[in-house]
Amino acid sequence: MTTQQAMLDVFGNVMRMVTMAVGAIAGISLVVGAIGILTMMWITVRERTEEIGLVRAIGASTTQVAGLFLAEAAGVALLGGIAGVSVGLGLGALLRWLVPGLPVETPLSFVLMALGVSFGVGLISGVLPARRAAQLDPIEALRAE
């Protein structure tokens, strides 16, 4: 005979394993997303070399150029985070609709942390491309094709 407490213990163990698996998948997704943003920003710097040279030639500082690319990387990551949170909240609402008794809720603090993490990943991913863009010599950048 299985007691209710034993069933709750098994359920708790299963939920801990699921939580760890979801956390691992989220970690892998963050790394893949960071690599994707880094690659995209490298390509952006390469394609916009002449633009960077022109901006630097008319007086933009290296800090301003770096800030522009950092903001772009963070914006892309934040938009991705907003899309991910929206999908997650939508799936939660669908689950609540399909299984009315199931307590599915997402605290606002988790949503804000997710958006903060996506913003941070974007900033970290954009540092190297932003530094490269800021260090381009304006004369050489204007000569590039």
pLDDT one-digit tens code per residue, 85-105: 999 999 999 988 998 888 888
In a domain, 108, yes or no: yes
In a domain, 127, yes or no: yes
What is the C-alpha separation between 77 and 84, in angstroms, rounded? 10
Give the count of domains, the chain: 1
**Is pLDDT at 50 greater than 70 in this prediction?**
yes
In a domain, 128, yes or no: yes
Q: How large is the average pLDDT for residues 28-41?
A: 92
**Is pLDDT at 145 greater than 80 in this prediction?**
no
Q: Note down the domain range covering 49.
A: 33-143
Percent of the chain at pLDDT exceeding 90: 66
In a domain, 1, yes or no: no
Average pLDDT, the chain: 91
**Is pLDDT at 42 greater than 70 in this prediction?**
yes
Helical ranges in the chain per DSSP H: 4-47, 49-57, 62-98, 108-134, 138-143
pTM to 2 decimals?
Answer: 0.80
In a domain, 76, yes or no: yes
